[in-house]
Amino acid sequence: MINVFQPSLGEAELNAIAEVFGSNWVGKGPRTAAFEAAFAGHLGVDTGRVTAVNSCTEATFIAMQLAGVGPGTDVVLPTVSFVGAGNAVAAHGGRPVFCDVDPRTLNPTVDDVAAALTPRTRAVVALHYGGRPGDIAGIAELCRERGILLIEDAACAVDSSVGGVPCGTLGDIGVWSFDAQKIVVAGDGGMLTARDPDLVARAAKLAYFGLEQFSGFSQARLSTHRWWDFDISSFSRRSIMNDMQAAVGLVQLGRLPDFADRRREVEARYDSGLADVPGLTLPPPLPPGQRSSYYLYWVQMDERIRDDVAGDLYAQGIYTTFRYPLLHRVAAYGSTARLPRAERAAERTLCLPMHQALTDDDVDAVVAALRASLARRLGRHTVAAGGTR
Ligand SMILES: *Cc1c(COP(=O)(O)O)cnc(C)c1O
């Protein structure tokens, strides 16, 4: 099978894990601190501006606590969002208010976000579809003007930036994922940053039961009398990263430049291989000054053939998918929104295999299978519809 996502884990990651085993310190400790420092360096922010957690979803839950989301507050997010973000809002008693997206980029425009704001809007949660920043800079400006917190779900955007400013640092809070389907993989894991260092410090406490005055995870810091004592500042969960995850994440972060180069090549190979395929729309060019992580590569086609094309590719051992199923259509969120651009795009879009382990032959096989399927399905459909081509 050619997978949609695939991690690149090898000997370096295995050796890093072996070192952790040898140290007898597998929980949160020095390697987590080193991963935090390396990630802060990657973003170009002070080390104190990030804290590692066990998943991006947990980071988003913590972000809701930091933002004071609760009953009586609204949080705006594009309907093309990860389910964990919608859950984070709803689980804290907030109302998720879903906005439409640009049908080509699947990112919300500034106007889409503005149209969904209410007097009760406490925060906006925006992602960077497929790794593309989209209008995030404009959305950040809108949120600043309105005094609304912007939380960037930068799970797709570990290597994305606008005018040199990394995605995840344009808003007030940024969260990242290192789960098995992402670019930098730690098995599972997440990171949170905030513009305000006090919020980061609060996030770190929220990630560990809300404990205050805990002596920490390092033996060197166990110097206080009765170091086992603690106070609680707020009731929270246990969401910390461990040193096995951090050790793998550290190695992966070092490999990110190579991953990024290969993903850019894969994108370019799809772009040229699929440029002239009738009935297929490719992602629009990346706007100048923007850098993408090339997390997803997606194509768009007539909604009447999309699912059949996915089936044709699957029959040839090629997985495809659609990210992210529209949240305003999920009954549990109770949305009555009608978001026609997103609804249409969700029926027309297919995400192709995209990862750094794809060979040129893999990409060419996907291109050939897609060409053949489209030719057959479009032809059949045209005949069935009595049309001519
Ligand atoms: C994968 C993903 C997440 C969730 O990350 P976890 O670490 O698995 O919780 C959140 N948002 C987006 C956009 C994602 O793609």
What's the rounded Cα separation, in Å, for the pair 373 and 251?
39
**Do 222 and 277 fall into the same domain?**
no
Is residue 6 domain-resident?
no
pLDDT digits (tens, 9 = 90+) for 234-290: 999 999 999 999 999 999 999 999 999 999 999 999 999 999 999 999 999 999 999
* pLDDT score, position 387: 38
The predicted model gives 71-78 an average pLDDT of 98
**Are 171 and 240 in the same domain?**
yes
Residue bearing the CA closest to ligand 1, atom 2: 155
How much distance in Å is there from the Cα of 177 to the middle of ligand 1?
5
Q: Is residue 389 part of a domain?
A: no
Distance CA 352, CA 299 (A): 7
Q: Are residues 176 and 66 in the same domain?
A: yes
**Dist. CA 57 → ligand 1 center (Å):** 6
- The confidence score (pLDDT) of residue 380 equals 73
Q: How far is CA 261 from the centre of its chain?
A: 19
Residue 352, classed as helix, strand or coil, is strand
140 in any annotated domain? yes
Band (pLDDT 50/70/90 cuts) for residue 226 is confident
Look up tokens 């609204």; give the residue.
Answer: 74
Question: Of 188, 223, 252, which residue is a domain's last?
Answer: 252
Domain boundary residue among 252, 279, 299? 252
Do 362 and 242 share a structural domain? Answer: no
- pLDDT confidence tier of residue 362, bands split at 50, 70 and 90: very high
What is the predicted pLDDT for the residue at 111? 98
pLDDT at 298: 98
- CATH number of the domain residue 50 falls in: 3.40.640.10
* Identity of the residue numbered 354: M
Domain harbouring 265, CATH code: 3.90.1150.10
pLDDT of residue 388 exceeding 50? no
pLDDT of 360 over the 70 cut: yes
Predicted confidence (pLDDT) at residue 389 exceeds the cutoff of 50: no
Give nearest CA residue, ligand 1 atom 6: 56
- 162's CB contacts (< 8 A; 6+ apart) are 133, 136, 137, 170, 289, 290, 291
Residue minimizing CA distance to atom 5 of ligand 1: 56
Beta-bridge partner residues of 50: 193
DSSP structural state of residue 245: H
Binned at pLDDT 50, 70 and 90, residue 82 comes out as very high
Q: Is 28 a catalytic residue?
A: no
Q: Which residues contact 137 (CB under 8 A, 6 or more apart)?
A: 162, 163, 165, 170
Task: Please give the mean pLDDT across all residues of the chain.
Answer: 95
Q: 384 C-alpha to center of ligand 1: Å?
A: 41
**Same domain, yes or no, for 49 and 175?**
yes
Q: How far apart are CA 358 and CA 3, in angstroms?
A: 9
Residue 5: closest CA among 229, 215, 175, 155: 155
Please state the domain count of the chain: 2
Residue 386 reports pLDDT greater than 80: no
Q: What's the gap in Å between 302 CA and the centre of ligand 1?
A: 28
Q: Dump pLDDT digits (tens) for 88-109.
A: 999 999 999 999 999 999 999 9
Q: What mean pLDDT comes out for the span 365-384? A: 87
Q: In what order do the strands lie in the sheet with 173-177?
A: 50-53, 190-194, 173-177, 149-153, 121-127, 74-78, 95-99
**DSSP string of 184-244?**
S--SS-EEEEESSHHHHHHHHHHTBTTEES---S-GGGTTSTTTT--EESS---B-B--HH
149 alpha carbon to ligand 1 midpoint, in Å?
Answer: 20
Residues 248 and 290 in one domain: no
Q: What domain range is 308 assigned to?
A: 256-384
137: its two tokens:
């800079």
pLDDT at 133 over 50: yes
User: Which one of 55, 56, 80 would you pick to mutate in the ligand 1 pocket, going by the greatest count of ligand atoms within 8 A of its CB?
Assistant: 56
Protein residue closest via CA to atom 14 of ligand 1: 155
- Is the same domain home to 236 and 273? no
Token pair 């004071």 is at which residue? 68
Q: Do 261 and 360 reside in the same domain of the chain?
A: yes
Q: Is the pLDDT of residue 150 over 50?
A: yes
Nearest to 292 by CA among 181, 193, 166: 166
Find the mean pLDDT for residues 74-87.
Answer: 98
Are 206 and 62 contacting, i.e. CB atoms less than 8 angstroms apart? yes
Atom of ligand 1 nearest to the CA of 81: 13
DSSP-assigned letter for residue 2: B
Q: Look at residue 159 and tell me if it is in a domain.
A: yes
pLDDT tens digit string along 155-190?
999 999 999 999 999 999 999 999 999 999 999 999
**For residue 365, how far is its CA from the centre of ligand 1 (angstroms)?**
28
> What is the per-residue pLDDT for 240?
98
Mutate to test the pocket of ligand 1, among 177, 178, 182, 294 (most ligand atoms within 8 A of CB): 177
Strands 149-153 and 121-127: parallel
Residue 240 shares a structural domain with residue 260: no
Catalytic residue selected from 28, 31, 132, 182: 182
Is pLDDT above 60 for 87?
yes
Question: Cα-Cα-Cα-Cα dihedral of 123, 127, 128, 133, to 10°?
Answer: 10
Q: What is the pTM of this model?
A: 0.95
Name every protein residue with a CB atom under 6 angstroms from any ligand 1 atom: 55-57, 82, 84, 127, 153, 155-156, 177, 179, 190
